[in-house]
Amino acid sequence: MNRRSRKQVLISEINITPFTDVILVLLVIFMITTPLMYQADPKHIKVNLPKAKHTTSASQKMEVATITLSSEGPMYLEGDIVTLKELESQLSVLSKIDPDINVFIQVDRLVAFKNVVRVLDVLNGLGLERLQIAAEEEK
């Protein structure tokens, strides 16, 4: 066997198996983390609003404080989780800044009415009169 008589074959193909493995791992990571990002983001609070025949939209020009009561339990003010006492203190500060502030309440259909009454009681105690309750338009 003569060593020189053999021709050395140059491999000109790229092995893409490691690249494919990395891409699949990244895909799995993104599939797992994407739903978690939406759950952690307070601006994406899922609320199943009740339906009504006559609805109006809140004006974008006026100052609005948005209170959200979700079916999972927590209460949100402008996307931040608050307790009833924190809601009262923060709305008190907002009403001192703007006495004519509009309060927009989004309540999930499954929330107990006693929780809505507690929020309305806080608003009444602060003397906030401009109130809108969100609803989906019935079709």
What is the mean predicted confidence (pLDDT) over 57-85?
A: 78
User: What pLDDT, on the 0 to 100 scale, is given for residue 106?
Assistant: 86
User: What pLDDT, on the 0 to 100 scale, is given for residue 37?
Assistant: 67
- pLDDT, the chain, mean: 79
The pLDDT of residue 60 is above 70:
no
pTM: 0.58
Q: What are the domain boundaries of the chain?
A: 51-137
What is the mean predicted confidence (pLDDT) over 112-131?
A: 88
Find out whether 119 and 67 touch, Cβ atoms under 8 Å: yes
Of residues 72 and 118, the one with the higher pLDDT is 118
User: What pLDDT, on the 0 to 100 scale, is given for residue 29?
Assistant: 92
51-137 maps to CATH 3.30.420.270: yes
